[in-house]
Structure 1
Amino acid sequence: MANQESDHALYQRFLRSVRSVPERHAVRDGDRACTYAELHERALNRAGAVLAAADRPKVVGVLADRSIETYAGLLAALYAGATVVPLHPDFPAQRTERMLTDASVELVLADERGRKVLSDIGSPDVKVIELEDAGGPGLSEPRPVRASDVAYMLFTSGSTGRPKGVPITHANARHYFELMDARYDFTPEDVFSQTFDLNFDCAMFDLFCAWGAGATVQTVPPAAYRDLPRFVAERGMTVWFATPSSIVLARKRGGLTPGALPTLRWSLFAGEALRAADVTDWQAAAPGSTIENIYGPTELTITITGHRWRSDASPGLCVNGLVPIGAVHAGHDWILRTESGDTVGDEGELCISGPQMTAGYLDPTDDIGRFLDHDGRRWYRTGDRVRVLGNGELIYLGRLDSQVQVQGWRVELAEVEHALRSCPTVDDAVVVTRSVAGVTELVVFHTGSPTEASTLYGSLRRVLPAGMLPREFRYLEEFPLNGNRKIDRGRLAREAAQE
């Protein structure tokens, strides 16, 4: 097994289950399943292929849909001692090319769809390994890594139209997952949902919480929501983790009748504000499930707070119908910062410092405005306005800037506006949000020339992921202005809400 010097390595969580429960399923995808021992061998083989193709590559991309081969590829990159960069084949080729370049990816493990994207990009400097290929001689054990080495890198939305790379080290991840081990009683008998794509940091929770416990990861396709109770029951699912939008979708499909989800014992939600009304409906459908609202930006390693729902106490803590985000993880300090820069009071922007915080973005220029030097320490500014409740927990009140959550996606409204201004018929654009049945949607107001919505939508699809695409486009001859002669975004938001 792995070098003792790498006890801090993220892949050690998988290796401990290879040792303890080698014949249990590590992952199931559709009708296929793979044991810990089998997935370990696949990963070692592909890691050998990685090292044969590029001598100790520092950064390896994985560009593929979720599959057993993709999970083996992700582990292979880690086994090779490299930083893994999960990428999505549905992203526009231009965006993927930019991420490959910014992250200095030397080699990509890709499935058929991923190879098509790379072919469209035509990048000659990136070597490609087919995920479906069993590979040649593999490694005998994973390569050692240092705690300070970057385990994985994810990209978030950027206000300049360029995604921001977030490096997460093995040390960041180790602190996080040790806290999760103490917080939850996951066992080899558990079956975890995986609703998230691998380029979404919450997917790392599913994988490495499950693999650290010897449990099974079960992929959840969109079609599962047609009859979610049946899907969950047939697969014996016990741990559900998704964005709150999944509750809305399940309700629309008739999947939240009382007692409909009896096998669930943990239900976790993150990525968006969680409504108390949605928790009530989910709890009725999953009466044996403990529900948590967990919160955190990618820059703080997946999640940094958590509130465990209690039907006798939690409703009284809610503000504006939203569930508290809970207490900040042990080992971290936090402050609330007012608009004037003061750090006193019980309401303000949440800033956090501690072992889960990334050292900074891939491009240091992106650090400006997102990190704070205060009291001799470096803090991450979440951009979220929170309030301290009477029990000491935190409640989310809203964003301070133009970044919003749309079905789990962190979206900089400025990035969408930037993309719209590149359309030939658009002079200027303002993007606002509205809530429809608990789901956040983007609405565009633009000046220039009247243009069919399908034309604008098509232009944006070429540069933005599907999760960032607006729901509606409205043309204006000119934008309304407020008393300060600035665009009246509040008025536009109110108009968008009227549908």
Structure 2
Amino acid sequence: MTRSIATEGVLHGWFLRSLRRNPAAVALRVAGESYTYQQVHDHALALAGELVARLGTRPRRVGLLASRSELAYTGILAAGYAGAAVVPLNPDFPAERTRGMITAAGIDALLVDDNGRPLLPELADELGSAPVILETTAPPLEHPYPAEPDDIAYILFTSGSTGRPKGVPVRHRNVEFYLRFVHDRYGFGPDDVFSQTGELTFDLAMFDIFSAWGSGGTLVCMPPQAFVAVPQFVRKHGITVWCSSPSVISLVRRMGKLTPGSMPSMRLAVFCGEPLLRDDAADWQAATGGLVENLYGPTELTISCSVHKWDPETSPALCVNDIVLIGTMHPGLDYVLVDSEGVVGASSGELCVTGPQMFPGYLDPRDDAGRFLEHDGRRWYRTGDIARLEPNGELAFLGRRDHQVKIHGVRVELSEVESGLRRLRGVTDAVAIALDGELYAFYLGEKRPAADLMEEMGTFFPRYLIPLHYEHMTEFPLNSNRKTDRPVLIARIRSAS
């Protein structure tokens, strides 16, 4: 057992408090194995001891090249125990992208599991003299090193329009504020069993891990093959808390598994990362009978910053372009809307947020340009998302700022086009892409001639909102975070032209 040390205000403190309460409880299920809080803690101390021994001092930033393994999760704690920020790296990412992350983060050690090992030769130049930890031989740390709330807890990367990774450092203080909010809101407890659906490079993973470990609950890693049978996985493991991007819902529906009462153990489902559609929210709640909430927030604002509680009686009528409201800001956060003329305080416009969840700025200060608003003596993060204040006091998501495009001189919202496509007979979901001044539509459901689709859209849309190009798909491409991969669709258009 760890000796008594200060754990308030730091990320791994949530785990340590649960460890003290019940070290024999199951903390993690992954790859068919279960690990107690004591076992995870002991392994994290061993990894942290190896990091310190190999460097001769406590590390500053530790890379974690691992995926869906016990080490992948334990490594997050190990970095924190060693007094370092953890930098998750996805073994499935192209080596070029991972090299850019290693360089940008300036990691001084790398933890690697079997999934990451094959990538090491391609990373050798960027790693330089940084030790690569494949096994532990040094004595474990006796106890975690102390950390301060203003220290960086983890660094995640998001791509800008150029595709160059942008490092987002999140402080212990930022994520502490967030975790206090979600634990208070949802009343997580030791009987809860949490899904873990995304890669560690996706910030929703931090929701999964520390919602579970902060409550003494069990975290269950969901392998990729389980997504074809989500209800069976949920029933097998008794999942009570689900968190994922909304794309999973349409996948379950296409498999014919999204049926009323099919996931009765689930008391809470939260969706984040992309717009949640009205029918998806309704069908998922019918399948579980539990609470469904729509979370909104970019990585720069620490996982999520606003929430809407789905109410089957009132929420459907509040949806805008079929999209569930993103709701109200977490207590302690403030927002303003900035219209296209730069007027602050408009009723609709770019959503800008400030408060204790806002990150301190990108790793590369050059990336800060244009991403912050100075207003009212405070610094606000510009999300790039367009929102509107609704009469009930909640916010509606209208689309990305870069999804506002001009077609033949007329401003078009891609979310509005997608809403129109979903109204078409036989269409179950759709993605609209604007490229070189033209609209392209990708859709799921019944395959129909493009001329028929255009004619039907013409009964309710003006000509400038009607795509001229249509492609039927059996499923949309998803990235590693299980979000719709728009760059893949754009590349598909370019390759066909």
TM over 0.5, shorter chain? yes
**Distance in 1 between residues matched to 2:488 and 2:229, nearest whole Å:** 28
**1:455 — aligned with what?**
none
**1:470 — aligned with what?**
488
**Distance in 2 between residues matched to 1:359 and 1:435, nearest whole Å:** 38
Which runs of structure 1 show a deviation greater than 4 angstroms over 4 or more consecutive aligned residues?
2-6, 428-435, 465-469, 475-478
Q: Which amino acid aligns with 2:492?
A: F
Q: Which amino acid aligns with 1:278?
A: D
**Distance in 2 between residues matched to 1:403 and 1:235, nearest whole Å:** 42
Q: Which amino acid aligns with 2:183?
A: D
**Distance in 2 between residues matched to 1:393 and 1:260, nearest whole Å:** 31
**2:257 — aligned with what?**
255
The root-mean-square deviation of aligned C-alpha atoms, in Å, is 2.5
**2:370 — aligned with what?**
369
Matched, 1:244 2:251: no
Matched, 1:157 2:159: yes
**1:37 — aligned with what?**
38
Q: Please, what TM-score do these two structures have when normalized by structure 2?
A: 0.82
**Distance in 2 between residues matched to 1:403 and 1:382, nearest whole Å:** 14
Q: Unpaired segments of 5 or more residues in structure 2? A: 406-434, 446-478
**2:89 — aligned with what?**
87
Q: Which amino acid aligns with 1:96?
A: T
Match of 1:127 among 121, 127, 130: 130
Counterparts of residues 100-249 of structure 1 (less than 5 Å): 100-123=102-125, 124-131=127-134, 133-249=135-251
Per-residue CA distance 1:182-217 (angstroms, 9 max, x = gap): 111111111100001001000000001110000111
Return closer, same or farther for 1:313/1:382 CA change in 2, 3 Å cut-off: same
Matched, 1:387 2:388: yes
Q: Which amino acid aligns with 1:204?
A: M
Segment drifting more, 466-475 vs 202-211: 466-475
**Distance in 2 between residues matched to 1:125 and 1:466, nearest whole Å:** 35
Contact 1:26 1:214 in 2 (8 A): yes
Return closer, same or farther for 1:469/1:401 CA change in 2, 3 Å cut-off: closer
Return closer, same or farther for 1:101/1:281 CA change in 2, 3 Å cut-off: same
Contact 2:308 2:328 in 1 (8 A): yes
Contact 1:2 1:143 in 2 (8 A): no
**1:351 — aligned with what?**
352
**Distance in 1 between residues matched to 2:182 and 2:355, nearest whole Å:** 16
Contact 1:64 1:88 in 2 (8 A): yes
Segment drifting more, 300-309 vs 110-119: 110-119
Q: Which amino acid aligns with 1:232?
A: V
User: Percent identity at matched positions?
Assistant: 47
Query: 1:8: how far off?
Result: 1.1
Q: Please, what TM-score do these two structures have when normalized by structure 1?
A: 0.82
Return closer, same or farther for 1:434/1:121 CA change in 2, 3 Å cut-off: farther
Return closer, same or farther for 1:280/1:274 CA change in 2, 3 Å cut-off: same
Segment drifting more, 86-95 vs 114-123: 114-123
**Distance in 2 between residues matched to 1:435 and 1:477, nearest whole Å:** 14
**Distance in 1 between residues matched to 2:327 and 2:495, nearest whole Å:** 42
Q: Unpaired segments of 5 or more residues in structure 1? A: 405-427, 439-460, 479-499
Query: 1:5: how far off?
Result: 4.5
Query: 1:144: how far off?
Result: 0.6
Per-residue CA distance 1:307-342 (angstroms, 9 max, x = gap): 111111111211111100110011111101011111
Contact 1:270 1:295 in 2 (8 A): yes
